[in-house]
Chains A and B, each alone.
Chain A
Amino acid sequence: MTPPIMQVQNIVKEFSGVRVLHNINLDIHAGEVLGVLGENGAGKSTLLKIISGIYPLTSGQIKIDGKLVEIRSTSDAKRLGIAMIPQEFNLISTLNVFENIFLGNEVKKGLLLDKAAMREKAARLLTELATELSPDALVENLSVAEKQMVEIAKALVNDSRILIMDEPTTVLTDHEVEIFFSLVDTLKQRGVTLIFISHKLKEVKLLCDRLAILRDGYLVSLDDVSEINEQDMARKMVGRELNQIYPSRREPSDHVVLKVSHLAIKGVLNDINFELKKGEVLGFAGLIGAGRTETAEAVMGLRKKDAGEIEINGQYATINSIADALSYHLAYLSEDRQGKGLIMNSDIPKNITLISLAAYVKGLIRQKKENAVAQEYVKRFDIKAASLHTNLINLSGGNQQKVYLSKWMDTHPNILILDEPTRGIDVNTKKEIYHFIHSLTEQGVSVIVISSELEEIMGLSHRVIVMRSGEIMGELIGDAINEKEIMYYAAGLKTMKQA
């Protein structure tokens, strides 16, 4: 085996006295793909942020090519050939592709920019990466996958030898994931070392050479990928057997709580019809951009409808604003937790009561009651936070999602729409959320789950609706729900005439 390109030795990290990483030792070999797995809060992001110079380490050392280095900032990391590709891309949307690739690294001719040289270099690089992306394309017009490509190209221009990627595939569609897989191969051939965080065990198994698994700040195992199966990965991450991720389903009643007829938004949605029964989990499958989120937002009054009727418990309902939706006890958790769901620089109680605040106001806000209720949710959902008054930005993704869920549960919904409820969340929290959905349905709450993870849709739903290009392509019930059928509908290879 090649000698280690990077040696992480005895790394300890503390945040205000709390130890989040315990003596991590890890050798990373040149040209390998190392997967880093762990539950939310296990310390994987912290570790990679230390390597890429975002966080300082508390103690320990890092060697590159056998030489001791200090990585105090991202520019130190850049100089050492380490680049981190964040989940939220750092691209300037008003500049085009090659300008972004060379941002901060511009090629100059005298005092002026040598645009021709940059364009040509960028074009060559993009060809090497086997993409048809034009160097002149404007970044704001690019898809998420293309933006990711630009980020990778940018890292390569900086002569990065070690690329760190934080859940690179969560934002990609299935087709784009395939392209990403071949890109990883290309990068490996160039001798680039890749470290990446993922929650998708299957993907990790396919992509990586070795796997490092972290739990509660300890490195619990480091295996060749051929020596570990998915069950073991999950077990090591959680520290115990994970049996039954998906709870068993109980038959919903026949009572229709929500009926949507002929819902349409010009250019977005076309004649959407569906029913939701009491205690049912209705899955919405489809590719990104199929119109699932738009359907949910239209039902919630967050988008203007051009046509369509909504009935709740058999009664015609006028829903033109989210306040209307609330009065019918509808709830919607957006896929964009940070952008549309939570006030990140505010604490847990204030977030939980933001919608239901009126219930806490008797002249003034009863903050004691607010805190007590928040405390109950913290207990009920096992939300892990340093204190009730920690700002949400300091919680892990899974705990943020639990706060988001609490926020809507505090409105006492009868119908709950969950849009990508487990995106970027670890296996254990996923399981908790699945079981919670199940217990809600037992209490007679009806749930719509929009998800791009087929496994999740199949594991949870009584019924699945598949959308494509703003239309419902088909509906699958019970035993008829399977991956192949869903994909056929989602890809437009099959369609069901709507009644």
Chain B
Amino acid sequence: MAKLEPAPMMTRLRRLNMAAYAPFIALLLLVIFSSIASDTFLMPRNITNVLRQVSYTGIIALGMTFVIIAGGIDLSVGSMVAVVGVLTIMIINGAGDGWWAVAMAVSSAIALGGVFGALNGLIITRGKVASFIATLATMSIFRSMALYISDAGEMVSTNAHFSDIGGGYLWGIPYPVWVFLLLAAVYHILLKHSAFGRHVCAIGSNPKVASYSAIKVRWVYFQTFVIAGASVGIAAVLLTSRLNSISPSDAGIFYELDAIAAVVIGGTALSGGKGTIWGTVIGVIILGIINNMLNLMGISPYLQGMVKGLVILIAVLVQFKGDR
């Protein structure tokens, strides 16, 4: 009888899909290179800074991972940061000066993100609009909402405690970084060890097979946009708190691109069906280190976009090679 044992170590190594580990290897090489090229790179202060800088787009990228694995894309996340940020400041300023006002602002930011995500999800699953187009439209709508509500002016919090959540530290590590890592752990479990995560992969691989397997394809797809939205809500409130203010015109600009780039660099297929949360975490950190190193090495900020673009291209090329 055919008894299928897990393959022995050697054959397993040989069968290892190198493309799957490419992000990890890339990160390792990047860290080695960076620590040689710059004395300051490995200093705890610098590392902490890098991690804090990437945590906002990182949290968004975590949510985006679900959307992309399910076969969609969400371009509205950057604008959503602005509109959630603006509304959060309004809520906290209206709610008074206590800690409870902060708690209310935080929970309503997450809820608002979820609602905006649900709006995206509804347009896509009920209206049957391709996610690219639907979120392109809401990207414009959300930005416009943020500008209109705030009258295009910077919104500043009057709550004395609000800035503590984005600016605080635990054991020397900023709160946003904790949130990013904690959320990554939770999402990892959700993606790899829950029925929902299994279903997300199934609908992204082959929606027809999924629907013939009694999976509620549209419902699962909808939920991925809610997750993306709620993640944006979390990122938005952390960012707003860190700055103690939000600019409706500048906040979240290009966040969608950074988030998508991180997901792709992390090895998640843009065609859907396959991907990992830890890959996205690595993708986020790679992007952060590259930015950091370009700064430390005094390279023109105008060139940073080019480097980022090249990294994305390489990531996608490696991915395609892995598929063949």
Q: Chain B contact residues (Cβ within 8 angstroms of A): what range?
A: 20 to 34
Partner of B205, one of A322, A334, A341, A346: A346
Contact A387 B4 (CB under 8 A): yes
Instruction: Please encode chain A, from 368 to 393, with 1 for each CB lying within 8 Å of some chain B CB and 0 for all others.
Output: 00000001001100111111110000
With A345-B273, A378-B2, A387-B4 as contacts: A16 and B209 at CB distance below 8 Å = no
| Nearest CB of chain A from residue B4's CB, rounded to whole Å | 5
Contacting residues, chain A, for B194 (C-beta < 8 A): 361, 364-365
Contact B213 A355 (CB under 8 A): yes
User: Considering the complex, which residues of chain A in the window 347-363 have a beta carbon less than 8 Å from any beta carbon of chain B?
Assistant: 350, 354-355, 357-358, 361
Contact B6 A388 (CB under 8 A): yes
| Nearest CB of chain B from residue A350's CB, rounded to whole Å | 7
Contact A339 B195 (CB under 8 A): no
Total inter-chain residue pairs, C-beta < 8 Å: 87
Contacting residues, chain B, for A339 (C-beta < 8 A): 206, 208-209
Contact B214 A326 (CB under 8 A): yes
Contact A355 B214 (CB under 8 A): yes
Contacting residues, chain A, for B201 (C-beta < 8 A): 343, 346
Contacting residues, chain A, for B212 (C-beta < 8 A): 302, 322, 332, 334, 340-341
Partner of A379, one of B3, B5, B206: B3
How far apart are the CA atoms of A341 and B208 in the complex, in Å?
A: 8
Interface-forming stretch among B7-15, B102-110, B236-244? B7-15
| Nearest CB of chain A from residue B267's CB, rounded to whole Å | 14
Closest to A408 in B: B213
B189 at the interface (CB under 8 A from A): yes
How far apart are the CA atoms of A345 and B14 in the complex, in Å?
A: 19
Contacting residues, chain A, for B202 (C-beta < 8 A): 343, 346, 354
Contact B211 A322 (CB under 8 A): yes
| Nearest CB of chain B from residue A320's CB, rounded to whole Å | 12
Interface size on A, residues (CB 8 A): 38
B45 at the interface (CB under 8 A from A): no
Contacting residues, chain A, for B214 (C-beta < 8 A): 321-323, 326, 355
Partner of A378, one of B4, B199, B205, B211: B4
| Nearest CB of chain A from residue B197's CB, rounded to whole Å | 8
Contacting residues, chain B, for A365 (C-beta < 8 A): 193-195, 198
Contacting residues, chain B, for A345 (C-beta < 8 A): 205, 273-274
A83 at the interface (CB under 8 A from B): no
Contacting residues, chain A, for B15 (C-beta < 8 A): 16
Closest to B4 in A: A388
Contacting residues, chain A, for B2 (C-beta < 8 A): 378-379, 382-385
| Nearest CB of chain B from residue A378's CB, rounded to whole Å | 6
How far apart are the CA atoms of A332 and B198 in the complex, in Å?
A: 21
How far apart are the CA atoms of A385 and B274 in the complex, in Å?
A: 21
Partner of A343, one of B4, B7, B14, B209: B209
User: Considering the complex, which residues of chain A in the window 245-304 have a beta carbon less than 8 Å from any beta carbon of chain B?
Assistant: 302
How far apart are the CA atoms of A387 and B7 in the complex, in Å?
A: 7
How far apart are the CA atoms of A283 and B7 in the complex, in Å?
A: 42
B29 at the interface (CB under 8 A from A): no
| Nearest CB of chain B from residue A450's CB, rounded to whole Å | 15
Contact B195 A361 (CB under 8 A): yes
How far apart are the CA atoms of A407 and B208 in the complex, in Å?
A: 16
Partner of B11, one of A17, A382, A388: A17
B170 at the interface (CB under 8 A from A): no
B297 at the interface (CB under 8 A from A): no
| Nearest CB of chain B from residue A412's CB, rounded to whole Å | 14
Contacting residues, chain B, for A384 (C-beta < 8 A): 2
| Nearest CB of chain A from residue B324's CB, rounded to whole Å | 12
With A326-B214, A364-B194, A387-B6 as contacts: A342 and B189 at CB distance below 8 Å = no
Contact B211 A386 (CB under 8 A): no
A131 at the interface (CB under 8 A from B): no
With A16-B15, A355-B214 as contacts: A343 and B193 at CB distance below 8 Å = no
| Nearest CB of chain B from residue A232's CB, rounded to whole Å | 28
Instruction: Please encode chain A, from 312 to 350, with 1 for each CB lying within 8 Å of some chain B CB and 0 for all others.
Output: 000000000111001000001010000111111110001
| Nearest CB of chain B from residue A429's CB, rounded to whole Å | 13
A367 at the interface (CB under 8 A from B): yes
How far apart are the CA atoms of A358 and B199 in the complex, in Å?
A: 11
B1 at the interface (CB under 8 A from A): yes
How far apart are the CA atoms of A334 and B215 in the complex, in Å?
A: 16
Contact B14 A341 (CB under 8 A): no
Closest to B192 in A: A365
Contacting residues, chain A, for B209 (C-beta < 8 A): 339-343, 354
Contacting residues, chain A, for B273 (C-beta < 8 A): 343, 345
Closest to A381 in B: B2
| Nearest CB of chain B from residue A321's CB, rounded to whole Å | 8
With A16-B14, A17-B14 as contacts: A344 and B6 at CB distance below 8 Å = no
How far apart are the CA atoms of A339 and B209 in the complex, in Å?
A: 6
How far apart are the CA atoms of A431 and B265 in the complex, in Å?
A: 48
How far apart are the CA atoms of A17 and B12 in the complex, in Å?
A: 12
Contact B7 A386 (CB under 8 A): yes
Contacting residues, chain B, for A382 (C-beta < 8 A): 1-2
| Nearest CB of chain A from residue B321's CB, rounded to whole Å | 16
| Nearest CB of chain A from residue B277's CB, rounded to whole Å | 15
Contact A367 B193 (CB under 8 A): yes
Closest to B323 in A: A345
Instruction: Please encode chain B, from 203 to 231, with 1 for each CB lying within 8 Å of some chain A CB and 0 for all others.
Output: 00110111111111000000000000000
How far apart are the CA atoms of A341 and B274 in the complex, in Å?
A: 18
How far apart are the CA atoms of A375 and B5 in the complex, in Å?
A: 9
Contacting residues, chain B, for A334 (C-beta < 8 A): 212
How far apart are the CA atoms of A365 and B206 in the complex, in Å?
A: 21
How far apart are the CA atoms of A384 and B211 in the complex, in Å?
A: 27
| Nearest CB of chain B from residue A29's CB, rounded to whole Å | 35
| Nearest CB of chain A from residue B193's CB, rounded to whole Å | 4
Contact B213 A379 (CB under 8 A): no
Contacting residues, chain A, for B195 (C-beta < 8 A): 357-358, 361, 365
| Nearest CB of chain B from residue A388's CB, rounded to whole Å | 5
How far apart are the CA atoms of A342 and B210 in the complex, in Å?
A: 9
| Nearest CB of chain A from residue B19's CB, rounded to whole Å | 13
Contact B7 A344 (CB under 8 A): no
How far apart are the CA atoms of A384 and B193 in the complex, in Å?
A: 27
How far apart are the CA atoms of A340 and B212 in the complex, in Å?
A: 6
Contact B4 A375 (CB under 8 A): yes
How far apart are the CA atoms of A346 and B208 in the complex, in Å?
A: 15
How far apart are the CA atoms of A341 and B214 in the complex, in Å?
A: 11
Contacting residues, chain B, for A322 (C-beta < 8 A): 211-214
Contact A16 B11 (CB under 8 A): yes
Closest to A389 in B: B6
Contact B1 A343 (CB under 8 A): no
How far apart are the CA atoms of A385 and B7 in the complex, in Å?
A: 11
Contact B4 A364 (CB under 8 A): no
12 CB < 8 A contacts A-B: A17-B14, A326-B214, A339-B208, A343-B205, A344-B206, A345-B274, A354-B210, A365-B195, A382-B1, A387-B4, A388-B6, A407-B213
Known contacts A344-B206, A345-B274, A346-B205; 18 additional CB pairs below 8 A are: A16-B14, A339-B206, A340-B209, A341-B212, A343-B202, A343-B210, A344-B205, A345-B205, A346-B201, A354-B210, A355-B213, A364-B189, A365-B194, A378-B3, A378-B4, A386-B4, A389-B6, A407-B213
Listed in ascending order, the chain A residues whose CB lies under 8 Å from chain B are 16-17, 302, 321-323, 326, 332, 334, 339-346, 350, 354-355, 357-358, 361, 364-365, 367, 375, 378-379, 382-389, 407
Leading 5 A-B pairs by shortest Cβ distance: A364-B193, A322-B214, A388-B4, A340-B212, A343-B205
